[in-house]
Copies of this chain bind each other. A is one copy, B any other.
């Protein structure tokens, strides 16, 4: 067990080193890098689809998609106008900084790198998992956790490791609120207890309600990232 812990520390510190390099590249280029994390099916891809449709004419966006298998999400984002690179992790439960660096390096799948200097926002959609992704820095400037009403309002206190480092918590599927037992008041209280400064944005990717506040948050964070 001691050996296992030592080895995990070594793996994490190598990841941290690569993540710092990525963060420096994003900073130098003035790119807002956002690490999106959630349970499977909470709506990360839907959020990025809507973001691309509504913000694609205004800001230069790109995405890196993490999934165990398939390139369905990358296809969805490309159809919505977002240049996207798919990473398949196989049995891997999270993205790491090396995978992100590789995806940037061979962004088009034919060896052509992503030009960070010609980019405003890079969305990194992590593997759907509320636990492991939280422990791996990807060089991102901001962490966003996407939750959804059918999952239940107690998820922050049951999965604190991902919520306590969030800069923004998006509560999606507000259109299903009436059909669930979800209490927005309890959810907000639980998030506040873990991440007092995190923005909490209630929205519905399906109806579009609340999306404008999310786009404004991205715009403001993008402006801040540009300033360094």
Binds B, one of A17-25, A105-113, A146-154: A146-154
Most buried by B among A41, A93, A129, A150: A41
Residue of B nearest to A173 (CB): B150
Binds B, one of A56-64, A67-75, A136-144: A67-75
Residues on B with beta carbons closer than 8 Å to the beta carbon of A176: 150, 176, 179-180
| 8 more A-B residue pairs beyond the given contacts A40-B130, A129-B130, with a C-beta to C-beta distance below 8 A | A40-B158, A41-B155, A70-B154, A70-B157, A72-B154, A127-B131, A129-B129, A148-B150
Residue of B nearest to A93 (CB): B131
A217 at the interface (CB under 8 A from B): no
Most buried by B among A91, A131, A154, A160: A131
Q: What is the oligomeric copy number? A: 2
CB distance from A28 to the nearest CB of B (A): 29
CB distance from A171 to the nearest CB of B (A): 13
A175 at the interface (CB under 8 A from B): yes
Residues on B with beta carbons closer than 8 Å to the beta carbon of A173: 150
Q: Of B7, B39, B93, which one neighbours A7 at CB under 8 angstroms?
A: B7
Complex-state Cα separation, A102 to B157, whole angstroms: 24
B150 touches A39 (CB 8 A): no
CB distance from A93 to the nearest CB of B (A): 4
Complex-state Cα separation, A91 to B127, whole angstroms: 17
Residues on B with beta carbons closer than 8 Å to the beta carbon of A70: 154, 157-158
A135 at the interface (CB under 8 A from B): yes
